[in-house]
Structure 1
């Protein structure tokens, strides 16, 4: 390998962005993207939103047309998954027996749907949603049926429920936890979305599990809940989270712990291999320990960070995480990680559907959840980036000038340079 070669395993948002960012940073070596799915890399967020209530158009999802990759010297080897990593030889082996050698390897293997472990879950009419193929199958089914049971009241489940209601379907959502999106949101925000879905006619069953799928003639016809109730439906959608794709890393004896473990510079235990996106478990910026995030922001920012490192600009990954969801007329935006919140402060009007929840732990701002408050969201991202010392008392005070305090914080913020890293060259 005389020419420096970067191989990216994974053709999702993180893998795509890594390749594009390498070219943007002036890397003139060989780049290959190897992905499980055929076709060009595409966006996933629309799959659980607009894509479910319009005519599916795969081209509209493409991150770039095929010609772009040819014009920029980025080889696409999609539709043939990597099955083995040979670290000593620095090459990956694809399912068809072909190989690709690398100077540096970027694992952007993403995640897959967590399967529902109950009888009947493999029947026709049971749908999951992560890929374009799955979205197209679900869209076709929703056009042909009148009722839907959604298992799981997380982001995907509730976005599907909202799309189904927009299509006129009768929808029941079954959730094992006591409130929707409980792992990600405060109780205030969960209650708001419970009321929102109820107002749009969704039957939300909380603290309720699923014992099995009702199957008739090989097709799902509803569910039997943990309290013995049968809920009939024409189809069932399962949205109970994802599992990171770590098998190749495990086979190669890289460290894995709910994701491929990396350091602050996104390096695995092998300095020639990085991991980014949904599959990567990285050190949190404060005391969270290892963090694994499933978001476009994280995928893009980590990809850009590793591209900068591989072309000589050393920096640790310190981006403020943010997330978003659209359900009916509500746009939810979250800045930061709010797990462990012990104090929350509401600014704005919950009744009017335009408010923010400022989340604190031991007096320190962890994050901000906003509904239809884009200015609050943007301000929150900046506050967290400069570690603005906002207190719960200041957040409660409607006369406290957040904009002025943020301006002062930004003017005083000076971050030290990141330490040197062996990833500054791919040679």
Structure 2
């Protein structure tokens, strides 16, 4: 599915409206950025190419009218669309004067929203707007890797299109997907394919660091902050300054870490453990998890305000079972990698073995596929065949369970099974069955 070229920024302090608008826009294949305050919106506008602003008017601290005025002066070519639950003649007149394309009153219909967006993307002469930033991904993703990302499916191409949009700005990005789908590869592609590629990239597995150490490891600490802190030390955030920090398994972060992370995203500053003075930082935050954060919010184990700060841009990495057309390309990659590593040669694979790998649903995703190819390369000589694949992947007959049997019939079946496994060696079979050889002989005669 091809994404539209336009980037749309939605600004509203009402999370329900924000999500509703995002769902509508994504159903029309637009790429969206979200902000819950004018301050966040201005930051996104400064860092990102935006093609349409959709904003509420009544918001705490700074209202949407201020944002409209700011955009009118700083980004005069940017179309503006207002959605409000508190319509007034005065606001309507002010909106018209500031060049707002349309003014929707909540609740509005999906059809009304679509009409207003279509109106926003039409020039004064009635032709479609052409000054949008062109996507480069469609011509670049055919049959070649994007960074370390392998695949040519629609699911992967959609991910690459989003990467192309966000790689050159520092908007906060949230990557979701099952374990083993390659979320870190997506984070690395965002960093290394963009203009900040020479800056640091720091990957942190929040689930791999003990909870009592994660706070000091992320934000650093001062001398004497706790037992064993014999000197000042920078954390991962300071190490990533100017570049990108990737927080994998963010759902494992404690409440204390979540509070500090919220401050980093809001204020662009870090306070070391034991310190009073904050340090300003310039870091792009990419977070990822295979946990259901919305369910964690309901249970009170993850902060709702942090969730919405992290999900300015969302990237959904599909499981391998939903993009099986990418499996041959991944097989080719892993055959080359482990063939050179283990055999010093290029290893091939039979069509029959490939067909079996494409048929399997891969609950462990790409990580499971890589492990199986690695094992197959070790077990084969020059060509991976069906015999080199695990039995669990091969076709199996699902025999119905036996009916209810008497104890005597069950005993017969078990004795035969043990004898067969011991190649009819009665002494060994008797040892496994826990009886002497004479008793076994008597049972066999019966």
- Scaled by the length of structure 1, the TM-score of the pair is 0.28
Greater radius of gyration (CA): 2
Larger strand proportion of the pair: 1
Q: Which has the higher helix share?
A: 2
Which of 1 and 2 has higher RCO (CA within 8 Å, sep 6+)? 1
